[in-house]
Structure formats: C-alpha cells, structure tokens
Structure 1
Amino acid sequence: MIQQQTILKVSDNSGAKTVRCIRVLGGFRKKYAKLGDNIIVSVQQLRNKSKKTSKVKKGEVYKALIIRTKVPHKKKDGSQIWFGENSVVLVNKQENPVSTRIIGPLPKLLKKKKFQKFISMSSGLI
C-alpha cells in the first residue's frame, strides 16, 4: 500500500533514482494506492552524477504508475504475488512513459488493465 510521503524506487531509464509520493489519484478520499494505480510523485534523487543525460530534474513533479509493491496482491485463484521493493514508472501528462525501457519484470495484472505500452517495454511478466 502506497500513501503520501512514501519513498519509491524508479524502475526505468528516465534518470530518476527515487521519488516521493505526494498524492494518490483515483478518488476524493483515497488514501492508499496498489498495483496498477496512478499517483503523483516528486523526484528526490537522480540516478547518475552527470545531470545532462537525465530526462528529469530533481524536484520536478510527474505522474507515475505503480508496478511493484511489497504488500501481497491476492489473485482470484488464491495465490499471492509480492515484490521486494516498492517501484514505479514515470508517466507524462498524456499517460505515455517518459523512458524507453523498464528494468525488471511486471505483474500480469497490468496486462488486464490495458497497459500494453509498459508491457512491451519490460523484460517479462510474472
């Protein structure tokens, strides 16, 4: 479960290393976000030392899609899936990814939610 002030890892090649959640989208009183939800984030750290190659800058505000959480997600067949980290992919205002590659696998849940752009960029599905 992701809420405001949560520090998240960025799993793409946009140049950001960590971001902080500043708002959970999807409702007036929605407090928590889970796999496949959109949030608004602020860039906290950059991945590389040379800031010229980075597509983002420190302090900028972006939308993000949650692709991995530590909290288990229960499937209909009774099994659960969880990851070792809370991770996001940065998205622009038109819901297109900022980066060109996603590092690591994505859950199959995103395939059902019609995120084909992100699935084609990733290394695999779980």
Structure 2
Amino acid sequence: MLQNESILTVADNSGAKKLLVIRCLGGSNRKFSRIGDLVIATVKKADPHSDIEKGQIVIALIVTSKKHFRRKLKLSSIKEPIGTRIFVPVLTEFDY
C-alpha cells in the first residue's frame, strides 16, 4: 500500500526518474493506493533532455508495490501512457 508523501521510481521511459505522491485518487477520504490505482504526483528527479521537468504535476498508475521496488507509469491528462517502453513486469492490465 502506498500513501501520501511516498517516493516512487518511474517504470517507463517518459523522462521522469522519481515521483512523490501528492494525493490518492478515488474518493475524498482515501488514505492508501494499491496496484492499479491512480495517484497525483509531482516530479522530484527528471532526465535533463526530456519534456518532463522537476516540479511538474502528473497523474500516475501504480504497477508494482513492493518495498524498495515501488514503481508507476506516468499518464497524460487523457489517461494515456506518456512513455513508449515499460522497464518492469506489469502485474495488472491497465485500460484507462
């Protein structure tokens, strides 16, 4: 389970490296996120030659949730993946 202020590693090639969870989507009183849930996050570390910048707010999908291996995919505003490749095995099928 992930909560607010969790730091995550990005699992695709969108340009971001580390993200910080701001909010778990799915209800006003929701405290935790699991695999397959959407979260709002901010970019803490980014690739210098990408379109993604540090401090940018993004929507992300949780794909792996084990301690030291928490990973997520970055989604655009229309909930489509930004990256073209995924670097880790994805446990669930996503169709947002």
TM-score w.r.t. structure 1 length?
Answer: 0.71
Report the structure, 1 or 2, having the larger strand content.
2
Deviation at 1:13, TM superposition (A): 0.5
Instruction: Give the gaps of 5 or more residues in structure 2.
Output: none
**Aligned 1:23-38 pairs, distance under 5 A:** 23-38=23-38
How many percent of aligned residue pairs carry the same amino acid? 35
Deviation at 1:35, TM superposition (A): 0.3
Distance in 2 between the 1:89 and 1:102 partners? 8
SS at match of 2:8: strand
Higher-RCO chain (CA-CA 8 Å, sequence separation at least 6) = 2
User: Cα RMSD (Å) of the superposition?
Assistant: 1.5
Identify the match of residue 58 of structure 2 among 23, 42, 62.
Answer: 62
Distance in 1 between the 2:27 and 2:42 partners? 20
Instruction: Give the gaps of 5 or more residues in structure 1.
Output: 72-83, 118-126
Amino acid at match of 1:2: L
**1:103 aligned to 2:77?**
no
Structure with the greater alpha carbon radius of gyration: 1
**Aligned 1:3-82 pairs, distance under 5 A:** 3-46=3-46, 48=47, 51=48, 53-70=49-66
TM-score w.r.t. structure 2 length?
Answer: 0.92
Report the structure, 1 or 2, having the larger helix content.
1
Q: How many residues align?
A: 96
